[in-house]
Amino acid sequence: MKIIIFILFISVCLTSGVWADTLERVEAPVKGMVTMIDLGAKKCIPCKMMAPILEKLKKEYDGRAAIVFLDVWKDPAPAKKFGIKSIPTQIFFDKDGNEYYRHTGFFDEKSIVATLKKMGVE
């Protein structure tokens, strides 16, 4: 009985928005800006390996390109939206929001920078 009550409580909290603010809500791709979205999970090993790279690039490209991480284990909606089959997957979008390039698996810093340069981001 306690389990049923707990499940009902969780359901009410999730559907009423009590916990909705704890999930990161990011509009991606970012309008008017070259955007790289990394769809992964904070507990996935290759995703963990990419985390410091993404943080570094997010700072380096601030104002010139958006670097966005979306945890699809916490919120599976972006995985559906972008047709993700495995993680991590990186999707690059041009300033108009058109998909430019897609890569699946670990993506090193040098390759990310090269792709951004090909897109005209210095």
What's the chain's length in residues? 122
Asked if residue 48 lies in contact with residue 63, where contact means CB atoms within 8 angstroms, the answer is: no
What DSSP string runs through 27-92? -SSPTTSEEEEEEE-TTSHHHHHHHHHHHHHHHHTTTTEEEEEEETTT--HHHHHHT--SSSEEEE
Question: Hey, which residues are catalytic here?
Answer: 44, 47
